Chains A and B, each alone.
Chain A
Amino acid sequence: MGVEGIGARVPRKEDKRFITGKGRYTDDMSVAGMCHAAFVRSPHAHAKIAGIDTAAAEAMPGVIAVLTGSQLKDDGIGDLICGWMIHSKDGSPMNMGANPALAVDTARHVGQAVAVVVAETKAQAREAADAVSIDWQELPAVTDAAAALAAGAPQIHENAANNLIYDWEIGDAAAADAAIAGAAHVTRLEISNNRLVPNAMEPRAALADYNAAEDHYTLWTTSQNPHVARLVLSAFYQVAPEHKLRVIAPDVGGGFGSKIYIYPEEIVCLWASKRAGVPVKWTADRTEAFLTDAHGRDHITTAQMAFDADNRMIGLKVDTIANFGAYMSLFSSAVPTYLYATLLSGQYVIPAIHCNVRAVYTNTTPVDAYRGAGRPEACFVMERLVETAARELGVSPAELRRTNFIGEFPYQTPVIMAYDAGDFDASLNAATAAADYAGFAGRKAEAEARGKLRGIGMACYIEACGIAPSAAVGSLGAGVGLWESAEVRVNPVGTIEVLTGSHSHGQGHETTFAQLVAERLGVGLDSVQIVHGDTDKVQFGMGTYGSRSGAVGMSAISKALDKVEAKARKIAAHLMEADEGDIEIADGEVRVAGTDKKLGWHEVCLAAYTAHNLPEGMEPGLKEGAFYDPANFTFPAGCYICEVEVDPGTGHTDIVQFVAADDFGRIINPMIVEGQVHGGVVQGIGQALLEGCQYDAETGQLVTATYNDYAMPRADDVPSFAVSTTETLCPNNPLGIKGCGEAGAIGSPPAVINAITDAIGNNDLTMPATPEKVWRALNAGAVAQAAE
C-alpha cells in the first residue's frame, strides 16, 4: 500500500468545499427567470376529489400557472411504476394500483400531491397553493397492515382485493413444518419492525429548465441515481425523450435509499417547466419530506425457530406482513422478498426454511428501501430468535451462535443465496474480546450497586450487497440490470478523470475511487478527478444504493484501468523497444523491469496523444470504458455487541458500550469505512430506541411529521463506538470488496433490543424502546396485578 493507495487512511478530497460552504446542492442552484413550485397536497388519508377550483389561485399575484392531475394525464405523462415484478405463490402478478404524479380522482395518503402552483416567488406559490379549493369527499382509511387485510377494511385500489398486493413464498413449507413438529425445542416470537422515515438532512429538491428553442430539458435533482432517473422519466413517464433530457445530481445531502426513487415532484417540475414556459424549482420543507419521502421497514412477523436436542437449528418458519403504503414505490416489491426472505438463513446452517410474505396497501406514505432494505428486518427476526432461544435453552448466546455458524464456503442456503466467503467465528471472537463479553457479570453487579439494570445483547448479521448480477435479478423480476459502468480518461499531461455511474452523497467516492487509481497508476490523488452525477458527462450508470459502489462501481473502474494499463504498456514497450510483458507501471513511472529504462507516466500519455510514434495500427488517445456486471452478490457479515444500563425508575436506556466487528472484505479507506459504520449504527440505534413513524389509526394523519415529534438520534443519545474489522476477501470481484454502507443499520437494532430485554428480564418489548415502553415492560407484572 502506498500512502494514498488502497488501505490508506487519507482525508477526503471533497471535504474542503463542504467545510467552507462551497458545496453545491440542488436548492443552491439558480437559473435566469427561475420560478417556484408549491404543491397542493391531500389533507386526508383517503378521499375522492369531486372537483378542483383553481380560479382564486390563478388570480393571485405572481402566479404563472396552476396545474392539475387531469392536465398532466391529458399531456400523456405516465403513471409511476414499480420496477420489480413479484408473482404471488398462485402465479398471479402483483396487484399494482395506478399511481399518478398528481392525483386525479382519489387521494390515498395524507400529503399526496394533487395540484401544483408555479409562481414568481416561493411565498407567492405557497399562498396560491393554499387558495386552491378542492371538493373532498372523505373515505374511511386504514393505516395498519394487518387491519388492512381484515374483512371489511376500506378498499384502497380497485384491482387489489382485500388490499393484498401479493402473497409470496420462498423455501420448503413442508420441510420447515416437519422440523418444527419434530423439534426438541421451538422458539416463537411475534415481531414488529417499526416504520421509519429516512430523513436525509438535505430535503428533496428539483429544478427543471425546459429550453423551447432546443426542445431540451435539464433537471437538477436530489438523486442517488441520475441515469436511472433519466431512463424512468423518459421511458415510463414520457416526460421527455432520453436524448433531450439532462439529469444532474450535484452535491446530494444524504440519501439512505430515499433518493433512489423518481418522485412526482420531479416529473411535475419538468412538465410544468414546459407548460408554464419558465424554469421551475421546488424544495421540500421538512414536513413535506416526512409526508412524501418513501418510508422504510413496517413489518409484522411471526417466526418460529426449531432446534434439535444438541441445540442445532433444524428449521425456520417466518410469516410476514409488509406495509407498502398507498402506492407501490419504485423498488418496493423487492424489499420484503428478495432483499429480506433470502437472508433468513443468517449466519447459520438451517436445513429447512420457509417464509411467506403478504404485501399490503394502506393509506400511508409509500414504503421502499431504506438503509439496509429488507436485510435489517431479516436480521432482526433472526437475531431476536437466536438470543431468545439461548435464554430459553439456558446456553450462552455466543455459544449457541457458534454451534450453528456456517463454517465452510461456498455455502448454498435454502433461500437462494450462495454465500461465497466469510469467517463468522472471527468477527464474533473480535467483538467478544473488544466488549470484554466474559467480564459482563462483574459490570452488571457493579451497575446493580448503583441501582441500574445492566444488560448485554449480541447480533450476528449477514447481508447481501454488491447489488447485483443482472441476469440473476432479471430472472427474479427486476426491470433493470444492476451492473455499473466507468470511463477512465487519461489526459495528455497524465492527469486522469474517472467518470463513474456511481453517485456519492456522503460516501466519499471522490477520495476512495481516486485511491484506486493512485494504487494502480502510481499517480498522486491530486492528479485524479472523479466525475459523477451528470448524464451529459457520464454515459450511463445505475447509481448508489445497496452498498454497491465499492463492489460494483469500483470494479467497473478497475476493469477500465486494466484496459488503460494494457494500452499504456503497449505504447511504452514500443517507445522503449522492450517486451510488453516487462513493462511495470508504478510511482508515476513506466519502467522496463530489470533495466534502467523508464519513461515518466506523463511521457507515455503525451505520446498517446501526439500519436507521432505509436505501435502499428494503434488508435491515438488513452481513454477506456468498462461495464462491470457482478458474478454474485457480496456478503458482508459481522458481530455487534451492545451493553445498556436501564434506569428502573424512569425506563431510560443508556447505551454504555457498543462494539462492532465487521468483515467488509478489502477496505480502501479505513477512516471512511469506520464513518459508514458509525452512521449506520446510529440509524439502527435510532430505530431501536427513538424513531417510530406514528399514524393516527382513525384519521390516517401522520402524527410524527416534524423533528419536534419524530425523535431523531442526537449527539447526546448515543455513545462513541469501538469498531474494528476482520477480513475475508470477496472472491467474486477484482478488488475483493464486500461493501460497508448498510451494515451498521442492519446489525444494531437486534443488538440493542437483546441488551435491553436482557437488562429488564422481559422479552416482550417493541421498537422503538422508549422509556415508557421499557418501564412498562419492566413493571409488566406489577401493572397487571394492579389492574386486577
Chain B
Amino acid sequence: MANISMTVNGRTVERTVEDRTLLVQFLREDLGLTGTHVGCDTSQCGACVVHIDGKAVKSCTTLAAQADGASITTIEGLANGADLHPVQAAFKEHHGLQCGFCTPGMIMAAVDMIERHGGKLDEKTVREELEGNICRCTGYHNIVKAILAAAA
C-alpha cells in the first residue's frame, strides 16, 4: 500500500492506495471524478488525459503513487467557477463533440497543445498532436476547428 498526497483541482487529497492503483482509477473510484474516462487498455485512445503539474498525461499509464506530491487538473477542474474554459467553449460552439466520451481527454490534450504552441497552431500540427486521442464520432473535423478557434 502507498500513502499518497496530491492536489486535485486545487484541493489537497490524502489517501492510502494499493501500489498498483492507476491514477485514472484513483481519480474515478477513490475521488469520484468520473469525467476522466477509460477507453482502452493500451495508452492509445487518450480518453484519460489529465494535467499533471500543467502537462497533459495519460492517467491510465500513470500510477497514482507516481503522482504523489503533484498538482492534478481534471476536466472537472478546468473551468473557473461557472465559466467555461475557452477550449470547452470552443468545443461547444464548433460542435467538437458528439457522444462526449473522448471529449474530456480531447479538451485536456488541446489545452496543453495550445499552451505549448499558442497562436502558431495550424491544422497540420493540431492533427499530428491529436494522434494520441481517438474519437469515433466526429471524424475530427470539428475538433480541429474548435482547437484552432480556441488557439486564435
Contact = CB atoms under 8 A, between A and B. Distances in A.
Partners in one complex: yes
Contacts of B134: 201, 707, 712, 714
Contacts of B2: none
B42 A707 contact: yes
Given A19-B88, A21-B35, A256-B136, A675 B142 contact: yes
A286 interface: yes
Given A21-B74, A202-B37, A505-B99, A254 B137 contact: yes
B127 interface: yes
B44 interface: yes
Given A286-B40, A682-B139, A20 B131 contact: no
A696 interface: no
A721 B143 CA distance: 13
B111 to A, nearest CB: 12
Interface stretch (A8-16, A388-396, A487-495, A595-603): A8-16
Interface residues of B, number: 55
A715 B131 contact: yes
B92 A715 contact: no
Given A202-B37, A678-B138, A682-B139, A23 B100 contact: yes
A715 B133 CA distance: 8
A253 B35 CA distance: 12
Interface string B73-91: 0111011000010001001
Given A15-B97, A20-B75, A23-B35, A708 B42 contact: yes
Contacts of A254: 98-99, 101, 136-137
Interface stretch (B51-59, B64-72, B102-110, B114-122): B102-110
A682 B130 CA distance: 15
B23 interface: no
A706 interface: yes
Contacts of B79: 20
A203 B34 CA distance: 15
Contacts of B36: 21
- Classify the secondary structure of A's interface with B: loop
A331 interface: no
A675 B99 CA distance: 11
A290 B97 CA distance: 24
A287 interface: yes
B60 to A, nearest CB: 10
A671 B91 CA distance: 13
A748 B103 CA distance: 25
Contacts of B88: 19-20
Contacts of B20: 123
A579 interface: no
Contacts of B92: 11-12, 15-16, 19
Given A20-B79, A675-B138, A716-B131, A253 B40 contact: no
Contacts of A678: 138-142
A352 to B, nearest CB: 38
Nearest to B44: A707
Contacts of A506: 98-100, 137
13 contacts: A19-B91, A20-B35, A27-B38, A201-B102, A202-B99, A251-B99, A285-B41, A508-B98, A672-B95, A678-B139, A715-B127, A715-B128, A716-B130
Interface of A: 11-12, 14-25, 27-28, 123, 199-203, 251-254, 256, 285-287, 505-508, 671-672, 674-675, 678-683, 706-708, 712-716, 718, 720-721, 744
